[in-house]
Amino acid sequence: MITPKSINRIFNVIDHSLFTINGRLDYSRVTEAIILLADQVHDFAGSGDMSDDGYEVWNIGEFGACSLDDLIIGAYWHYTDWHGGQWSKEYAALCSLGRVFDPQMTTGSTDNEAYLALEAMAQGKSEY
């Protein structure tokens, strides 16, 4: 069963890996974790349980370096720029994120902290 607590755990692992100097996941594993996170958020939202638990999910990371919604949006735009074709792991992440975030007529934002952190990680930089 997917709960806000399980979503929060995955978010914290990603957040720690992107925004601290001692993160444990490399870019490939962060991408896998983002796929898992997006799938869990989608499945949780699709369960129809948008009571107090639903609000709890969207408050994850609120006072940290990046909130859940900012992570989803920044990761979505990052993977639009950084995927290696439809068979790549990054494209799979883009598809999972697209089930949660619908950009409609918006354009990518490269000033999002998650976008910048993922870009730095993809380039092998240690700015974040």
Token pair recorded at residue 102 = 């619908």
CA distance 16 to 86: 28
Are 23 and 80 in contact by the 8 Å Cβ rule? The answer is no
Note the pLDDT tens digit of each residue in 7-61.
999 999 999 999 998 888 999 999 999 999 999 999 987 665 555 566 788 889 8
Question: Residue 101 CA to chain centroid, in angstroms?
Answer: 10
Domain positions in the chain are 4-122
Q: Which of 101, 79, 81, 104 is nearest to 90 (CA)?
A: 79
CA distance 88 to 22: 27
Q: DSSP string spanning 36-99?
A: HHHHHHHHHHHTT--SHHHHHHHTTTTTSSS-HHHHHHHHHHHHHHH--STTSHHHHHHHHHHT
Note the pLDDT tens digit of each residue in 57-110.
888 988 888 999 999 999 999 999 888 788 899 999 999 999 999 887 666 666
Question: How open is the CA angle 98-31-34, to the nearest 5 degrees?
Answer: 55
CA distance 116 to 58: 21
Residue type at 11 in one-letter notation: F
